[in-house]
Amino acid sequence: MISKLVSIPYYHNKLLFTPSYHDGVIKDLIDGIPESDFDVQRQGQVEIIGWLYQYYNEEPHNAVVNINGGTVKTNDIPAATQLFTTDWVVRYMVDNSLGKYYLERNAHSELGTHLEFLLPDSLEMVSDDLDVTQIKVIDNAMGSGHILVYAFDVLVKMYAEQGYSSREASSLILENNLFGLEIDKRAYQLAYFALMMKAREYNRRALTSNISPKVYVFEDTSNISDNYFESLPVSESNIQDLKYIVSLFHDSRTLGSIIQIDKPVKTGNLRTVLTNIPQDTSLDLNNTREITYQLLRLLDIVETMQNKYEAVITNPPYLNKMNKVLKEYLKTHYKDYSSDLFSVFIWHNISMTVTNGYAAYMTPFVWMFIKSYENLRKSILNTKLISSLIQMEYSAFEEATVPINTFVLKNSSTSENGVYIKLSDFKGGMDVQKVKTLEAIENPDVDYLYRTNQTNFSRLPGMPISYWISEKIISAFQNPLISEFGIVKSGIMVNSSFSRMWYELNVGKIQFNAEKIDDMDGYKWFPVNSGGGYRKWYGFNETVLNLEDGGRDIINDGRNYRLRDKKWYFKPGITWGRITSSDLSFRLSRQGNLFGDAGPMMFINRHIHFILGFSNSKVMKAMSEILNPTLNFQVEDMRNIPLILRHVDLIEKLVRTNVENSKVYWDAFERSWDFQVHPLIQHIDEHNRNWNGFLKQNHCNVPILSQIIFLEEYYG
């Protein structure tokens, strides 16, 4: 018989403390971490384990995420994707999944009084009492184990309600309730250690017991060849099952928990087979003993992945720079959800739950709005229930450069209302978000808590999770969309090496007034809309693009550039800056301009000035935030804006005036190629002008420095 294979993991040498209190990890822990995180009574021990892991991962994490282009290699995936989950978010996820599941099945439970972040919601009671030993909870991207450790505390309270002592509960939780998977061995070791320390908190003999946490780390099977199977004294059917497992886990350090097991694997039978393989202590040419141990460890993982769970809770990896193996696997097995690794986890994890079970997440909130996640939204809204969701302020989570939400899905298609908390207006980081969440729990009548039926989202183009909007606004989307008034297009996509500011060049090489493709002959540079900052009505005509010989240099560059839709070159329309950190602004684009990827265009066939006016209105701002409140307002979002035509003649007259005034203002300064004279001197009599050439532009058209300074200082 093979003895127990897994013991408390060894400590990685990189986790040794530096012996100085003046610099290194000890100083950083003392200076950089809130004092409350050291408080054992407030989960301080697991906070410190998590912070330790993140501290030692910071340098490799930054090295990976700052890569300019390229994919993330297998060995770099842990550093690129693992972030320590804020404690209050962990509590929200566990309280509203595991906690809620238990409360729905134990009508007389007092557990809710201990769940600080349980959102105010009516419980859908289930008549059968729940045996706590039957609850299974998994974090399948567990990192250093923060979620599992808090779930341990909640489970202890459940066991106490059902008459168990803390000592009994401690062992039973490790034996029956908690499971974890991880691709990073160092994080797995920390999670193992954290759970053993948590068990020791409730049972002083935990470290000497024979019970171990059911947490596991993925191992590639690329080292296992057919030679191993040739020597096994087992049946052919068992060998085929083992080979199937080996093929599944060939790249498991890359794929991890999203590996799909397409047919049932009888792990108990295979475990018996492997355990009874004779162990020859003589020369082991095929490394049979070690591979047998490895396969036994893999059976633990297969069994874990084949289970169904009452609660699946995780902060999944955020990754879209995928290597070839990962990208191809996602396209094959998760095609509709493959925009990012976290979206795959969203769908995979809710599929791991029992009927009416819960899956809880912390992820970027882009899945709620943008088109590339529309299939995911559709699948969730049609077959699952968004039980609750907290949308955080855009930059609240400092550890990631993405806007975050945390939410709980229920594996049910019932028509209950979900509870939503919108924290977008509360700046100040995660501490402020925590305070405002607790305020909403204490007082559900706050104006940023919403109860919404998700069937409303299906009435909006693209099904955005816009839970805060009124019935009146939803009804507005029944009107004609902007896409019915013309074409909305993305433009030429190249990098900045092919563009210049017009005043950097010889104007003789620039074609300012092209009307058709033939007008490009003999010119190298052409005006292009490239986004710009906040400016309404007209302007930001400064950038020119190298399209000499039909874009020869761009085509020959060989990178993934796109010279889109030449039939739309030089046509007038409406443009905007796709990337913005402030309000959207729309401008009339003159005939003669190209349009870039960052400055898409609307080519409107009627009522162009009315649509321009509407686009610059407060109504448009509200509509854009419904469809996509991120920093990228995409072409698809613009197409889906509803339009109500009223007072068309009056509005178009006012908009024309705005455009004319904005053009006069733009042309009053040398940034415009139509500049004639500075407004401060245009009323000086001609015979009194004696500037000795001071205001003349030089041969390459660079604006005079004094006027640039004036423009920036006076007009901002």
Its sign, for the CA torsion 683, 684, 689, 693, is: negative
pLDDT at residue 431 greater than cutoff 50: yes
Which has more pLDDT, 678 or 360? 360
Contact 711, 669 (CB under 8 A): yes
* Residue 215, both tokens: 């947490």
Written as one string, the DSSP assignment of 400-453 is: SSS-EEEEEEES----PPEEEEE-TT--S-HHHHHHHHHHHHH-TTSTTEEEE-
pLDDT at residue 360 greater than cutoff 60: yes
Q: How many CB atoms lie within 10 A of CB 61?
A: 19
Residue 714 neighbours by CB under 8 Å, 6+ apart: none
The verdict on 109 and 181 lying in the same domain is yes
pLDDT at residue 465 greater than cutoff 90: yes
The verdict on 346 and 493 lying in the same domain is no
pLDDT at residue 706 greater than cutoff 90: no
pLDDT band for position 715 (50/70/90)? Answer: very low
The verdict on 313 and 300 lying in the same domain is no
How wide is the angle at C-alpha 609 spanned by C-alphas 616 and 675, nearest 5°? 85
Please report, as a single letter, which amino acid is at residue 9. Answer: P
Whole-Å CA distances, 364 to 81, 90, 315, 341, 367: 12, 15, 10, 11, 7
Whole-Å CA distances, 657 to 335, 651, 652: 50, 10, 9
In a domain, 471, yes or no: no
How wide is the angle at C-alpha 29 spanned by C-alphas 26 and 33, nearest 5°? 165
pLDDT by residue (tens digit) across 27-40?
444 454 454 544 44
Contact 379, 406 (CB under 8 A): no
pLDDT band for position 336 (50/70/90)? Answer: very high
In a domain, 358, yes or no: yes
Residue 465 neighbours by CB under 8 Å, 6+ apart: 368, 369, 377, 386, 389, 454, 457
pLDDT by residue (tens digit) across 123-135?
888 877 789 999 9
Contact 91, 110 (CB under 8 A): no
Q: How many CB atoms lie within 10 A of CB 252?
A: 20
pLDDT for res 205 = 81
> Rounded CA gap, 26 and 36, in Å?
16
In a domain, 447, yes or no: no
How wide is the angle at C-alpha 595 spanned by C-alphas 592 and 597, nearest 5°? 170
Q: What does the longest C-alpha to C-alpha distance in the chain come to?
A: 109
Which has more pLDDT, 540 or 304? 304
The verdict on 250 and 345 lying in the same domain is no
Mean pLDDT of 207-219: 88
Where is 354: in which H helix or E strand?
strand 353-364
DSSP tally for the chain: helices H, then strands E: 24, 17
The verdict on 613 and 539 lying in the same domain is yes
Strand runs (DSSP E) across 476-523, as ranges?
Answer: 486-489, 499-501
The verdict on 296 and 321 lying in the same domain is no
The verdict on 194 and 246 lying in the same domain is no
| Bridge partner list, 314 | 361
pLDDT by residue (tens digit) across 4-27?
333 334 333 444 434 443 444 444
Mean pLDDT of 670-694: 68
pLDDT at residue 261 greater than cutoff 90: yes
pLDDT at residue 452 greater than cutoff 70: yes
> Rounded CA gap, 311 and 349, in Å?
9
> Rounded CA gap, 671 and 231, in Å?
79
Mean pLDDT of 685-713: 44
pLDDT for res 75 = 56
> Of 420, 8, 331, whose CA–CA distance to 199 is shortest?
8
The verdict on 350 and 203 lying in the same domain is yes
The verdict on 501 and 609 lying in the same domain is yes
pLDDT band for position 598 (50/70/90)? Answer: confident
Quote the percentage of the chain above a pLDDT of 70: 80
* Residue 185, both tokens: 């061995």
Q: Which domain holds residue 243?
A: 226-305
177: CATH: 3.40.50
| Bridge partner list, 546 | 525
The verdict on 319 and 296 lying in the same domain is no
> Rounded CA gap, 465 and 339, in Å?
18
In a domain, 636, yes or no: yes
> Of 454, 353, 387, 385, whose CA–CA distance to 92 is shortest?
387
pTM score, whole prediction = 0.79
Q: Where do runs of H (alpha helix) occur along 77-215?
A: 77-81, 87-94, 100-103, 146-161, 166-172, 185-202
Mean pLDDT of 524-528: 87
In a domain, 541, yes or no: yes
The verdict on 493 and 358 lying in the same domain is no
Parallel, antiparallel or unpaired: strands 525-529 and 137-139: unpaired
pLDDT by residue (tens digit) across 612-634?
999 998 888 888 888 888 778 88
In a domain, 552, yes or no: yes
**φ and ψ at 241, to 5 degrees?**
-65, -40
In a domain, 237, yes or no: yes
> Rounded CA gap, 89 and 423, in Å?
13
In a domain, 397, yes or no: no
The verdict on 236 and 182 lying in the same domain is no
pLDDT band for position 290 (50/70/90)? Answer: confident
How wide is the angle at C-alpha 247 spanned by C-alphas 241 and 253, nearest 5°? 125
Number of structural domains in the chain: 3
